[in-house]
Structure 1
């Protein structure tokens, strides 16, 4: 493989693909982010309804919150701005709208850091004294590649999308072909969501999805469930 002028070096591209993989041992596959509760109480009983739900979550939730954090945190990691990184991490912790969502970002962030320690000798020092969240940990790894800020966000969003589609296929349930159609739709919509996320400043960034929070809280006591959130 050779690099073309202006293209990302092959090693960085492969690292970015690796970061987006649902096979990464951080537990992302075990979360449905409220979708399983939506199947029970919001009538997500078809490909069309589940696809609309996840697309709405992309634009109304992820793009306005965690994706914006990833974009800002990549830049902060690259300039070694510890105060900014701590502030972004605190914002993520303070804006989780259910116990499940808080445990998810803490667990995935912690697992991501443990995985990163296998890749970089200095990781432990970078996160010392910080209860790291998943978006900020992901941004650290993306910042270590030569990926652009936008490409780092693309990787984060696509990894999220694959996990959500996997949750929908299992919990609605749906077939694999339906899952691929849904993933194709998200692949078309993710770039727009990222453009929106990158444009947000601190005052515009938000995490306000009250009905999703309600379903997540309901899921904590759902009688039968496959996922941790």
Structure 2
């Protein structure tokens, strides 16, 4: 059963679970951004800001956020979590997208098991947002806080990719991170009250980039 915790403990745990050193391998994935750079769709800080802002609100991250919120509510029901995991895998628009979310979900669950008893967490083939939502729910972490941390991590991962792809430097990345803070907070608030009826997206350019990246050579990232 879910148990409440203090705000400080919840913050520390979210920082641990979503930090760059937590072994989920997020540094290896660009979620199609590498392809967007190769195609010339993202060339500088301004276009990078636009790409991340659009995909965050209208692309896969919104669906991930809804799945996380639903998993948080269903955290003590492994049958419901299994259904959400199946839905999460079905929503993946490309093989790389599926690999990204399932492999990171498995890695997250392996590491997060240190905080839980045997059998509490879902199986390893659970997509990352469902895995995080279930773990946060079981730990008694506030859903909106978990969503905000998750979405902010998605943004920071994209910015780290952009730095490695020489689209922007650290100062430019920090500026974009600051500018996107209100969008992250608003999206977390909306997703916390969302259900699977609210799933959907229209970031077709990001979806196509994710598909096309499967044949990109040479490349730095797995997606």
User: Hey, what does 2:155 align to over in structure 1?
Assistant: 161
Question: CA contact under 8 A between 1:98 and 1:217: conserved in structure 2?
Answer: yes
Provide the rounded CA distance (Å) in 1 between the counterparts of 2:156 and 2:134: 21
The CA deviation at 1:97 is: 0.2
Provide the rounded CA distance (Å) in 2 between the counterparts of 1:151 and 1:165: 21
1:95 aligns with 2:95: no
User: Hey, what does 2:80 align to over in structure 1?
Assistant: 84
Provide the rounded CA distance (Å) in 1 between the counterparts of 2:33 and 2:6: 35
Q: 1:172 to 1:43 in 2, by over 3 A?
A: farther
- Deviation readout 1:37-82 (Å, 9 max, x if unpaired): 00111431100000110011110024530001111111110xx222
- Deviation readout 1:197-228 (Å, 9 max, x if unpaired): 23332222125543222111211111221111
Match of 2:36 among 30, 35, 38: 38
- Deviation readout 1:107-142 (Å, 9 max, x if unpaired): 0011111112233232x45324x6211111111221
How do 1:51-90 residues align onto structure 2 when only pairs under 5 Å count?
Answer: 51-62=49-60, 64-77=62-75, 80-90=76-86
Match of 1:210 among 204, 207, 210: 204
The CA deviation at 1:156 is: 0.8
After the TM superposition, which of the residue ranges 80-89 and 218-227 deviates more from structure 2? 80-89
Question: CA contact under 8 A between 1:9 and 1:146: conserved in structure 2?
Answer: no
Match of 2:10 among 9, 12, 16: 12
The CA deviation at 1:100 is: 0.3
- How many aligned positions are there? 219
- Deviation readout 1:143-189 (Å, 9 max, x if unpaired): 23332111111111111111111011111431110011111122221
TM-score, normalized by length of structure 2?
Answer: 0.90
1:127 aligns with 2:122: yes
User: Hey, what does 2:177 align to over in structure 1?
Assistant: 183
Provide the rounded CA distance (Å) in 2 between the counterparts of 1:207 and 1:101: 15
Provide the rounded CA distance (Å) in 2 between the counterparts of 1:92 and 1:208: 17
Question: CA contact under 8 A between 1:15 and 1:145: conserved in structure 2?
Answer: no
Q: 1:105 to 1:219 in 2, by over 3 A?
A: same
Provide the rounded CA distance (Å) in 1 between the counterparts of 2:199 and 2:6: 29
SS of equivalent residue, structure 2 residue 59:
helix
User: What RMSD in Å do the two structures reach over aligned CA positions?
Assistant: 1.9
